[in-house]
Homo-oligomer: A and B are copies of this chain.
């Protein structure tokens, strides 16, 4: 136990040390390192796959086919990791930008400079490609990273991290900047979460139990990517073709992700015209429907929805449907049952659109667009760290800027406080 503590603190201390030089590393050096890291992964694809095979052998009996699939490295997934790193290299450097330098009335010039957070801790589950992705995002944003992947992927992660770290160091990145906790001992996570002063931010990537554990244990600030109980509200007078297109996309295009729709709200005036039409299409796509009483007047084969359904993130081909008495009732429903992730209105009414945007307090609020569009790429943020469900620092789709902070930069000419 003490050994694990020492081991984790040692990794974190070396990452902290590396972070100082990394913070001011030239952007060209970082991009060169990212491209070399991509090349190295491809060059070492056979080694990666054979190490990965050890992980697969060890857990074949315990994992579901879907989990095994996520764990498995192929030439295609290795090429995907390499492409991801090259895309990060191609993005502008988020570090060092001077924002809003202004001359104050006393002649002092004051602005903000974007700087890295320092050391970022990433705790994630069995997908080994997160190792490359997280290392790339942190390096580009000038942060050292301490990675802790799932135990099922330990051989794969060790191999990926070593290949990346070696390539990065050869390009001039300080040693220790890409650190992996090379043990499956669970105590290591707890030690990371207590390493105040050495790690500046923890980003958990994985299922709810992992995120809950991190939230409850961490003494370090956490940015989490949690529930998405997302709504589409079809307003009175909406274009019902647009509504159908958006609602269908929001539920069916990829139901297992956080920005998929879980509850459809329909103004009572449109229930009769809209519900049979969308109900048919959703059923054809294999969606199980659960409706309130008024919904079931128009969709009699929908199951009755319980109070619990309104709170539920199905992440599956299941949809709760509720008929509501207008905009206020829709906003009220979203405030009460939603998770403040992403909510959309389909409307032709400009005043309703603006009221919805102002009054719905979610990380993304949309007019006439599918909540599935809540995404760093779609928003123009480049590579995405995740979708933050927190309110502080970074909210909603989070690009590399979320891994930076700022410092105030002040130019005086002998200015003093009077």
Contact = CB atoms under 8 A, between A and B. Distances in A.
Interface of A: 20, 23-24, 96, 102, 104, 106, 108, 110, 113, 115, 117-118, 200-201, 221, 239, 242, 245-246, 249-250, 253-254, 335, 353, 357-359, 361-370, 372-375, 378-380, 390-393, 395-397, 405-417
A147 B366 CA distance: 35
Contacts of A253: 416-417
Contacts of A415: 246, 368-370, 373
5 contacts: A369-B411, A370-B416, A372-B416, A395-B408, A396-B407
Contact of A391 (B405, B408, B409, B411): B405
Contacts of A353: 411
A394 to B, nearest CB: 9
B379 A110 contact: yes
B113 A357 contact: yes
A416 B368 CA distance: 9
Contacts of A372: 416-417
A335 B335 CA distance: 46
A414 B115 CA distance: 38
B410 A369 contact: yes
Given A405-B391, A417-B249, A115 B361 contact: yes
A270 to B, nearest CB: 16
Contacts of A378: 104, 106, 108, 110, 417
Given A361-B23, A379-B104, A417-B373, A367 B410 contact: yes
A2 B373 CA distance: 45
Nearest to A362: B407
Contact of A368 (B359, B391, B411): B411
A365 B410 contact: yes
Contacts of A391: 117-118, 200-201, 405
A362 B367 CA distance: 41
A110 B409 contact: no
A409 B374 CA distance: 10
A339 to B, nearest CB: 12
